[in-house]
Amino acid sequence: MAKVEIDKVVPDFTLLASSGQEVSLQQYRGKRLVIYFYPADMTPSCTQEACDFRDYNGQFAQLNAEVIGISPDDLKKHDKFITKCELPFLLLSDPDHQVCELFGIWQLKKLYGKEYMGVVRSTFLIDENGKLVKEWRKVRVKNHVAEVLQALKEM
């Protein structure tokens, strides 16, 4: 599968959602889509990022945009996370990290001298035609969601 590139249509993919259904990228044609990838449910930075997207969700909707989150966590963990944080959007499970690899965010990481493979926090903005228009890689959570919202307003 080819990697995603700015100004190119993102290849379709299908993952299981927290709602239990299969969700494919194709279903979002005609809407703007914000996909944010995060390492794990219930961790401090990931919780803050999810809550920031939750708090701005109405503004995203006004701009014809939907938000979905993707991590390698399973659906049961996603359900707990959604309930705890009252998230109004779907979380998709990518346990085999195929979609993470498609977006180039499954990478070698280091923590306390140990190396491991994991998700590099990243966000992607896709237009109504399925084309990638903007990406944020190696995201710092503070003020990030406001930046994404601003980019949507400028589209």
> Rounded CA gap, 91 and 41, in Å?
10
Instruction: Lowest mean pLDDT of 24-33, 62-71, 107-116, name the range.
Output: 107-116
Average pLDDT, the chain: 94
Query: What is residue 67's predicted lDDT score, i.e. its pLDDT?
Result: 97
Q: Does the annotation count 46 as an active-site position?
A: yes
Alpha carbon 42 to its chain centroid, in Å, reads 15
Residue 1, pLDDT > 60, answer: no
Q: Which residues contact 143 (CB under 8 A, 6 or more apart)?
A: none
Query: What is residue 153's predicted lDDT score, i.e. its pLDDT?
Result: 94
Helix (H) / strand (E) element for 61: namely helix 57-62
Pair 152, 58: CB distance under 8 Å: no
Confidence tier at 11 by pLDDT (50, 70, 90): very high
- Domain residue spans of the chain: 14-153
* CATH 3.40.30.10 is held by the domain 14-153: yes
